[in-house]
Structure 1
Amino acid sequence: MIPAYVIKQELQAVKEKLFVSDRVSQVRDIFLFSCFTGLAYADVKKLNRSEISIGIDGEQWVYTARQKTDTPSRIPLLPIALEIMKRYEHHPQCVNKGRLLPVLSNQKMNAYLKEIADLLTPMSVF
């Protein structure tokens, strides 16, 4: 059975892997942002820049309503999430649409995530 969770070492391997394709690197970044915020694909895809605000602690937080449940969420942004946001602040798709990240379609994201998994998984010898 394949576990439905990612362990710390796997996240670190994904984070540190250098990819030749900018598109695959972009998908990796969005995956990591999702992991470090706890937001689902649909929530990250719809996330606008206007939903990032300074919290009472003086740090940046996500203030959004979850897509599936319309439940308000308040999520502190960890350093890795902030780093990813900064990386895409001038990306044309983000600037033109007011989005936080340049998220691809779910189908494309899944295809590239599978490619990332294949690149990180050592080949089995039978």
Structure 2
Amino acid sequence: MRTEGTVEAFREAEKLVAQRRPFEALRTLGPVLDEAADKPSVQLLAGRAYLFSAQLHRAERAFLRVIELDPSDHYARLVLGRTLQRQGRLNEAHAQVRLATTMYPDPAYQEILGEIRAHIARVNAGS
């Protein structure tokens, strides 16, 4: 990010996302996206705001862009998996969360993976 104003806008958008105010965060983040769209941190923040505002396809695109820019970003894979899960794309969600858990074996990640596996089992049992 180039300008001090851009950095300030990014920080303000982070605060707004943390406060679960995604629409305000996205308005604040607009100029930052214009200036620094190829920064993984900017795409990740936008993806989180899109996810919190149920703009799931936009969230998916933002998280995929983060992974394109930084394939080792385990958190982007985790939230991409959550986004896919909310879209009902359970097998794709499982693949992303499983990879995130392999990259970063955190108990919270493993819990999410277990949740997706249980959901897949319920769906398969009902078939």
Common topology (TM > 0.5): no
TM-score by length of 2: 0.32
